[in-house]
């Protein structure tokens, strides 16, 4: 998707921009099938995702289903979130010289499923530097304001970064943390609902406040998210074993702070570099 001056201005001013088409609609059936397989515990590559927070038969049907790093388990997910085109898109918006994946999110909010609490993505990620984050949110179903779609607060990327608080999954008042932050910033929150066709979506800054309400519609709201960081990032030594968590700490190399491209591959770089092994992995 080519970026216009309007997209660039909106991202700079509001902390996000929306797009009517981020992926080819012809790819949607394969991604829908991938969602079914992942939440049924079927991992086609033989490798489990890093985080499996919901499975059919045991998961709470009232909450949003979530899996992190589904790209390691399913090639349809991988071909989307490891796209060099999405990497370049992020580079154009942020001005970064290179882009690598930090994590993907596979999110499925069925009809009636509860809210996700407002938060700033970067607040959870003090363990790498530069700590900038940019996320591409791809709707796999048409989204509507009453269907639990993603919400942003315009201009909130300029607010101070706040420590995470409250419950993320199914909080009773999903905007509370954001409203407290708005009060501290002395502003009234201007909330925007992402309403796009399937295949469209949004791109947002890591400091932008966002969340989503209950799905009061009759259809599911499935979304695939690419959380990206700069290609030159490294682990922060002071967070070794503290603050990274038991999952991503396991990928820290012995003897240096470098991010291993096997686990955090580079999607795009201005000089033309891209993690070479990706094409072999994706060619199956």
* Averaged pLDDT for residues 38-48: 97
pLDDT bracket for residue 244 (50, 70, 90) = confident
**Residue 136: exposed, middle, or buried by beta-carbon count in 10 A (0-12, 13-18, 19+)?**
buried
d(CA 239, CA 217): 42
Residue 1 has pLDDT above 70, yes or no: no
Q: Residues of the chain with pLDDT > 90: what percent?
A: 87
Tell me the three-class secondary structure of 166-211, residue by residue: CCCECCCCCCHHHHHHHHHHCCCCCEEECCCCCCCEEEEECCCCEE
Q: Residues of the chain with pLDDT > 70: what percent?
A: 98
* Averaged pLDDT for residues 48-71: 96
pLDDT at 164: 87
Q: Is the peptide bond before 180 cis (omega within 30 degrees of 0)?
A: no
Element (H, E) at 275: none
The answer to whether 47 touches 78, Cβ cutoff 8 Å, is no
pLDDT at 239: 67
pLDDT at 85: 96
120 — phi, psi (to 5°)? -115, 125
pLDDT at 242: 61
pLDDT bracket for residue 245 (50, 70, 90) = confident
Interval 72-90: pLDDT, tens: 999 999 999 999 999 999 9
Interval 183-224: pLDDT, tens: 999 999 999 999 999 999 999 999 999 999 999 999 999 999
Sorted by where each starts, the structural domains of the chain and their CATH numbers stand as 5-282 (2.60.120.620)
d(CA 98, CA 209): 24
Q: Higher model confidence: residue 249 or residue 240?
A: 249
Interval 18-35: pLDDT, tens: 999 999 999 999 999 999
Residue 3 has pLDDT above 90, yes or no: no
* Averaged pLDDT for residues 165-180: 93
| Average pLDDT, rounded, for the chain | 95
């Amino acid at each position: 998707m080519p970026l216009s001056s309007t997209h660039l201005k909106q991202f700079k001013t509001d902390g996000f921009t929306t797009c009517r088409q981020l992926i080819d609609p012809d790819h949607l059936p394969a991604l829908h099938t991938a969602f079914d397989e992942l939440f049924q515990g079927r991992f086609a590559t033989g490798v489990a995702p890093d985080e499996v927070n919901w499975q059919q038969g045991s998961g709470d049907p009232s909450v949003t289903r979530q899996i992190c790093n589904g790209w390691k388990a399913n090639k349809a997910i991988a071909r989307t979130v490891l796209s060099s085109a999405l990497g370049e898109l992020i580079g154009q918006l942020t001005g970064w010289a290179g882009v690598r994946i930090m994590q993907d999110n596979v999110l499925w909010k069925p009809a009636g499923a509860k809210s996700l609490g407002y938060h700033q993505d970067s607040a959870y990620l003090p363990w790498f530097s530069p700590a900038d984050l940019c996320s591409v949110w791809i709707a796999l179903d048409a989204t509507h304001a009453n269907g639990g779609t993603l919400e942003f607060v315009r201009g909130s990327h300029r607010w101070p970064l706040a420590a995470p608080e409250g419950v993320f999954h199914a909080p009773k008042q999903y905007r509370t943390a954001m409203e407290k932050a708005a009060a501290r910033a002395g502003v009234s929150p201007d909330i925007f609902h992402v309403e796009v066709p399937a295949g469209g979506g949004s791109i947002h800054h890591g400091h932008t406040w966002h969340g989503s309400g209950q799905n009061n519609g009759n259809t599911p709201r499935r979304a695939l998210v690419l959380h990206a960081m700069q290609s030159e990032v490294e682990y922060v030594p002071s967070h070794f074993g503290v603050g990274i968590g038991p999952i991503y700490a396991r990928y820290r190399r012995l003897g240096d702070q470098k991010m291993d491209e096997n686990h955090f591959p580079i999607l795009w770089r201005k000089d033309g570099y891209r993690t070479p092994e990706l094409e072999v992995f994706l060619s199956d």
